[in-house]
Amino acid sequence: MNIDSIFQAAQTAFLDYKNLSGKEKGHFLETLAEILESNRAAIVPLAVRESNLPEGRINGELGRTTGQIRLFANLVKEGSWVEATIDPAMPDRSPLPRADIRRILTPLGPVVVFGASNFPLAFSTAGGDTISALAAGCSVVYKAHPAHPETSRKVAECIQQALSACGLPSAIFTHVEGGIAEGQALVKHPLAKALAFTGSHAGGMALFHLANQREVPIPVFAEMGSVNPIFCFPQKLEKENDTLAKAFVASLTLGAGQFCTNPGLIFVPEKQAQNFELAIAAELHAIAAAPMLHEGIAKAYYDSIQALEARNELRWVKVADPKHLINGSPALAEIKAADWLKHPLFHQEVFGAFGLMVVYRDHAELLDIAQQLEGQLTITVWAELEELKNNLTLVNLLQEKCGRLLFKGAPTGVEVGHAMQHGGPFPSTTASQTTSVGSYAIKRFARPIAFQDMPQELLPEALMDANPLGIWRTVNGVMTMK
């Protein structure tokens, strides 16, 4: 594998591809979605075998993958995502005339994408990062995740088929296999213009530092997981004890807990704690251990649990039962908020179906907790309206700590849409201004460029006076389709 040739080809392909119309890019993405669907019978068994995830889940994940591809296809076909903004010239303005200034979003260039182990389809080869970069008009150099090599190769083949069917250069997407050294070489290449990653904190931070040590640093969009706390209030628990216990356990144990939105922490008031714990324990004991993605992930899960078992601040409600190391057995421990506040170890993510129930005394303690929380992808508040109204300071503070604040349901199950925000303050991600799920993710791979006094016929169509694309634009500060 010659990394330099890969990037030279990716750069050449990018220079052509970026100028394609939104309709042409959209057509390519739609073609890809169709090809992936027509290869369902080949892709699903591979992904099931390589990830240990059940067939139903993988089938659903393929649907989610093609669904998000179509979301981006529609976005770029419609075209307004480029945020065309026009301040027309004011030659007669006094005391100084104003030049004609027109700004638009333009794609960054070749993007390096690292696949995730826990979503072999939706966050991997043709997953959200790859597709949002392609939709923006970037070429992609993709580092396959070693946990699902055959699935990755098959999906990469589908992407090549789609490129070929649309008469586009194959180097718009390059599939690279290898280990740490290859991944790092991709990030270091001078033609790489951005990096997208989903995985561990250690991996994300290593790549973040590498990208910043380059002679020309590049943006790093690393999603590194989260503990996704749930804050429970007394009246809500009094009313819905069993329903909420069910909802918590279902979310905690979904997919053996291998979701970045898995709720690993739950804050419960002292008075209601015992009842709630009983209901949770009853649910939890009925859930069997499920195979984890690979032995490395299962080992990391049990190592983390072992480190916690050594701490005498914890009382175990359900212990993990590692009969077969690949199986992630759900576990739950309880701790007093005063102890939780003292030790950062208890704040950290345990990737898998482990929950820590933190029992708090009063609202003052709850505020201390919120102040100490690190940045999260999500925070959930289970409270009655009256309780929310009486705790606006807390609700206000929690907004500073997360990318998505929920008031119903559980954080797993991330909707792929226009309003979704999947990315929070550090350490959940390295770039809280953006999302890695939903159509807004496209903005990660574009930068603004302004054209000053550019002749009309040379302007991108999105900025021409006649608005030939018929898109929404901001002209003189006013949104218009004219």
Stretch that binds ligand NAP, among 139-147, 167-175, 318-326, 356-364 (CB under 6 A): 139-147
Q: How far is the CB of 190 from ligand NAP (least distance, A)?
A: 18
Stretch that binds ligand NAP, among 5-13, 47-55, 223-231, 330-338 (CB under 6 A): 223-231
Stretch that binds ligand NAP, among 82-90, 97-105, 203-211, 459-467 (CB under 6 A): 203-211
The reply to whether 1 sits near ligand NAP by the rule CB under 6 A is no
Q: How far is the CB of 72 from ligand NAP (least distance, A)?
A: 21
The one among 45, 146, 169, 460 contacting ligand NAP by CB under 6 A: 146
Q: Which of 138, 232, 260, 402 is catalytic?
A: 260
With CA atoms as reference, report the closest residue to 408 among 267, 273, 244.
244
The reply to whether 200 sits near ligand NAP by the rule CB under 6 A is yes
Q: How far is the CB of 152 from ligand NAP (least distance, A)?
A: 10
Q: How far is the CB of 281 from ligand NAP (least distance, A)?
A: 25
179 class by beta-carbon count within 10 Å (0-12 exposed, 13-18 middle, 19+ buried): exposed
Closer by beta carbon to ligand NAP, 55 or else 295: 295
Q: Are strands 354-360 and 220-223 parallel, antiparallel or unpaired?
A: unpaired
The reply to whether 404 sits near ligand NAP by the rule CB under 6 A is no
Residue type, 331: A
With CA atoms as reference, report the closest residue to 401 among 422, 380, 379.
379
Crossing angle of helices 363-372 and 392-399, in 10° steps, is 10
Compose the 324-363 pattern: x for residues touching ligand NAP by CB under 6 A, - for all others.
---------------------------x------------
Q: How far is the CB of 256 from ligand NAP (least distance, A)?
A: 11
Q: How far is the CB of 180 from ligand NAP (least distance, A)?
A: 4
With CA atoms as reference, report the closest residue to 124 among 152, 153, 95.
152
Stretch that binds ligand NAP, among 4-12, 54-62, 154-162, 176-184 (CB under 6 A): 176-184
The reply to whether 129 sits near ligand NAP by the rule CB under 6 A is no
Number of residues assigned to the chain = 482
With CA atoms as reference, report the closest residue to 57 among 44, 73, 67, 68.
44
The reply to whether 411 sits near ligand NAP by the rule CB under 6 A is no
With CA atoms as reference, report the closest residue to 133 among 68, 188, 203, 186.
68
The reply to whether 175 sits near ligand NAP by the rule CB under 6 A is no
The reply to whether 114 sits near ligand NAP by the rule CB under 6 A is yes
Q: How far is the CB of 165 from ligand NAP (least distance, A)?
A: 29
Stretch that binds ligand NAP, among 195-203, 271-279, 410-418, 419-427 (CB under 6 A): 195-203
Site for ligand NAP in 422-451 (CB under 6 A): none
The reply to whether 145 sits near ligand NAP by the rule CB under 6 A is yes
Place of tokens 């080992």: 299
The reply to whether 180 sits near ligand NAP by the rule CB under 6 A is yes
Instruction: Kindly determine how many residues on this chain lie close enough to bind ligand NAP according to the rule CB under 6 A.
Output: 24
- Structural tokens at position 114: 């690292």
Closer by beta carbon to ligand NAP, 280 or else 297: 297
Give catalytic status of residue 349 as yes or no: no
Give me the residues paired with residue 335 across strands: 358
Give catalytic status of residue 138 as yes or no: no
The Cα–Cα gap between 129 and 442 comes to: 9
Element (H, E) at 284: helix 270-285
Closer by beta carbon to ligand NAP, 61 or else 223: 223
The reply to whether 11 sits near ligand NAP by the rule CB under 6 A is no
Q: Which of 223, 277, 334, 349 is catalytic?
A: 223
- The HSE-up count of residue 228 (CA atoms within 13 Å, CB side) is 32
The reply to whether 253 sits near ligand NAP by the rule CB under 6 A is no
- The HSE-up count of residue 241 (CA atoms within 13 Å, CB side) is 14
The reply to whether 291 sits near ligand NAP by the rule CB under 6 A is no
Q: How far is CA 332 from CA 92, 229, 306, 389, in A?
A: 71, 14, 13, 31
Q: Are strands 327-328 and 290-291 parallel, antiparallel or unpaired?
A: antiparallel
- 3-state secondary structure string across 352-380: CCEEEEEEECCHHHHHHHHHHCCCEEEEE
The reply to whether 260 sits near ligand NAP by the rule CB under 6 A is yes
The answer to whether 155 and 149 have CB atoms below 8 angstroms apart is: no
With CA atoms as reference, report the closest residue to 269 among 228, 229, 232.
232
Closer by beta carbon to ligand NAP, 146 or else 460: 146
The Cα–Cα gap between 155 and 411 comes to: 28
Site residues (CB under 6 A) for ligand NAP?
A: 114, 116-118, 143, 145-146, 179-180, 183-184, 198-200, 203, 206-207, 223-225, 260, 297, 300, 351
Catalytic residue ranges? 223, 260
